[in-house]
Each structure stands twice: as C-alpha cells, then as structure tokens.
Amino acid sequence: MKFDLEVVNSFSDMLGNPQNSFRSVHVAGTNGKGSTSALIYSVLNLKKKTGLYTSPHLVKFNERIISGGETISDERIESFILNQIPSIERLKENNRNPTFFEVTTLMAFDFFRESHDKWAAIEVGLGGRLDATNIITPEMSVITQIGYEHASILGGTLTAIAREKAGIIKNGVPAVTGETKPEPLNEINRVARLKKSKLIISSRYCAVSGRVSSLEGNTLRVTTPVDTYEISTSIPGKLQIANVVTAIAALENLPDPPGRIDVERGIREARWPGRIEVVRRDPVVIIDAAHNPSAAWSMVRSLKELISEEPILVVGQLKDKDHFSFLTAVRQLSGSIILTTPDEETRAENPEKLLPIAKELFREVRVISDPREAYAAALSTSRPVLVTGSIYLIGIIKEAEKSSLNPFK
C-alpha cells in the first residue's frame, strides 16, 4: 500500500482521465460503506446505466467491478492489464510501480467509461484522503459509521480516523454522514465547513418508524423533509437501517434526485452478499463479513433480535485485527467457537495464536485450521452456525454453498 495520489493521478492521465466520463457518489467509512454503495447503485441503475466499485471480493476478483448488473469479464480484465503494461512500466521508471489497488481502481473507471455508464457508486478502499479512489470529483460524498480500524495507518483516535475518511469531501460538494458519535461527527463537520460543503446528518434528516426485522430483511417507513418511503430490504440487521437512511439522504440530495418509486424499488432489489446472509436453512447457516470490533457489536445486536438459539461460531481473522475485542463481542452470541484460517495466504492469523484468548472467553473451543473442515464440523452439530471474522473466510462458505456472488443476479 502506498498513500499518495501522485502515481494514480499520473496513471489516470495516461488513460485520458476515465473518472471524468461519469457522475459519481463516493462512499467512505469503517463499516457499512459497501452496503450503502450497493443501495445507491441499485437505485441509480434503474434509470441510467450505473457502475459499482467495491472491495474486497468474496471469491472472485470480478465481483469488485459491476456495470449495469454485470460483473467485469475475465477477458476485459486481461485486456486491460496487457494493454497497460507499458504505462505501468513507465510509471515504475519515473516514480514507482502502481499498487494492485491503484491498477484495480483505474481498471474500474476505464470499464465504466467503456460501458457508457452515466453514474457510478464508488467505495473507498482504505481511509479516504489518500485512497486511490479519491481522484474523482463526485456529486455527493458519503461517510458511513466510523470505528477503530487500521489505526496504525489512519490514526489512533476516532477524530484522526474521521479526518482521513472526511478527506473525500470536495470543495462545495454536498456530503452525507451516517455517523452519530460526537467525536468523529465533530471532525466530519469541521472538514465540511472548511470545504464549504453542505453536511447532512442522516439520522437527523430522516425519521424511521414501523421497523420490522427478520432474517429475511427489514421493513420500515422513512420520512424526510421531501417525502415518505415505504422501505423493504432483503439485507437484514439493525446496522442496515442506518445504511438505508444514509443512502436515502444521499439520493435525495443529488442534483437530479430519483423519485420515491425508484428509491423504494431500488432498495427492495438491492443485494449485498455476506452481511447477515442466510446461505442454508437446515441447519440455519448465517455468514457475516464483520471483521472489526465495531462491526462485530453491530452484528451481535442485530442477531440477538433475529435468532433465539445459540449458534456455533466459526471464526477466522487476519493478523492486523483486534482479536480480543472481536472475540469479546461475538462471545455475547455463543459460548462455542471453532477457530480456523481465512483464505488469505500472507495476512491470515494462525488460529492457534487465537486459542489462549478464546479459552478465556468461551466454554467450548476447537481449532480446525482448514476452513472447509471447520465448516463441516460445525454443520455436523445440527445447531445454527455463524461464520464470521473475515471476508476471506465467508467467501469460502459462499463457494461451498454455491451461493450467488453477483448481488444483482
């Protein structure tokens, strides 16, 4: 990872600045930014062809780049890389090699241009201010919830992390945030004032009533200064309420906002794999991409109202995560855990290293390093199963269950 925009700007210049060929909504945050991006994309794509750029993927790289409901093809990926090798080599000679994420970002922008997309929902990779996606000038900047993650890179306080996330706010471009905690919210507000950007706090802008939640999703009524929406979404969990509200606030404040019918339909049709997703019914298997403590607590709060039986947990984490805080959170759901290994060769934490922490928290602990064997062992108990801790772990379960990877299929 390299945190500067010089190389990605140079690379973009070589490509003719494809990011200027479409209008965009830029979405940053610690948690909820992928779901919020998918909701915004689903609404905008109803009337005008729209792109969606997210990361990481669950199983296959192509999932990161979607245009008009279709993932980028293997052939399109290959042709972009082969065609851009001379530019990549030139950048390496003049400065440094562009990173994987920088190349991926320009691949997405170039694909959206070639696909004649009118809009794109762009999810930030890490942080915001120096993220490769921050070469766009969007119609709307969105900042979801802020939490402690990548603190060694972004800063050790919520204020410092919020400052980096708020780096996506552009001069005079309106912004929406789903954040409610005073410390990060004050910093986002400060940056917005400096940029002369109108800041909309979605929890104050929108009133929510009549919420009904189940493992099938949420129904609720959202009232704004503009309209009242009867919302139904297949993405379960309390956290998704905040994401829906943030998406609606952002969509309503675009220069040419979609109407109520499109907003309701787009949210109803939106999908986002790996977020309190039920991939099997007998026994019930839930997968969730929570991988940091704040996401874990949100998941726990949601599942406590959605399931009554204690699940067996299958957990794998990467080395750079706060393992103790994450395990402390998921312990509120169950006393039984199987520790395993995410499918990430260099960053996956050895589950044996999590064992001392887990033994202090859980009554029943097993280590099964192979994630497929760990999943099979959990299924054999005939109890509900929750697989969580890393997106690189739940991707394995999606593949094992032959569950759809394209959220819009």
Per-residue exposure over 74-88, b if at least 16 CB sit within 10 Å of its own CB, e if not: eebbeebeeebeebb
121-154: pLDDT as tens digits: 999 998 899 999 999 999 999 999 998 665 555 6
State the Cα–Cα distance between residues 105 and 67, nearest whole angstrom. Answer: 14
Half-sphere exposure in the Cβ direction for 209 (13 Å, CA): 5
| Residue ranges per structural domain of the chain | 6-269, 277-400
Count of other CB atoms within 10 angstroms of residue 368: 18
State the Cα–Cα distance between residues 316 and 398, nearest whole angstrom. Answer: 15
Q: In 235-390, which residue ranges form alpha helices assigned H by DSSP?
A: 238-252, 260-269, 293-306, 323-330, 351-361, 371-379
Q: What is the pLDDT of residue 156?
A: 74
Q: What is the pLDDT of residue 149?
A: 63
Q: What is the pLDDT of residue 408?
A: 60
Going by C-alpha positions, the residue among 131, 123, 161, 163 that lies closest to residue 26 is 123
State the Cα–Cα distance between residues 223 and 360, nearest whole angstrom. Answer: 46
State the Cα–Cα distance between residues 233 and 10, nearest whole angstrom. Answer: 41
- With 0-12 CB in 10 A as exposed, 13-18 as middle and 19+ as buried, what is 352? exposed
Tally of residues, the chain: 409
Q: CATH second-level architecture of 277-400?
A: Alpha-Beta Complex (3.90)
Going by C-alpha positions, the residue among 25, 111, 102 that lies closest to residue 68 is 111
Give the relative orientation of helices 158-165 and 182-194 as an angle to the nearest 10 degrees. Answer: 40
* pTM, 2 dp: 0.90
Tell me if residue 6 falls in helix, strand or coil.
helix
For the chain, which residues score pLDDT lower than 50? none
Please give the DSSP secondary-structure letter assigned to residue 370. S
Going by C-alpha positions, the residue among 24, 25, 242, 249 that lies closest to residue 144 is 242
Contact between 330 and 388 (Cβ < 8 Å):
yes
State whether CATH 3.40.1190.10 applies to domain 6-269: yes
Q: What is the pLDDT of residue 409?
A: 57
Tell me if residue 54 falls in helix, strand or coil.
coil
Q: What is the pLDDT of residue 386?
A: 97
Peptide bond into 56 cis (omega under 30): yes
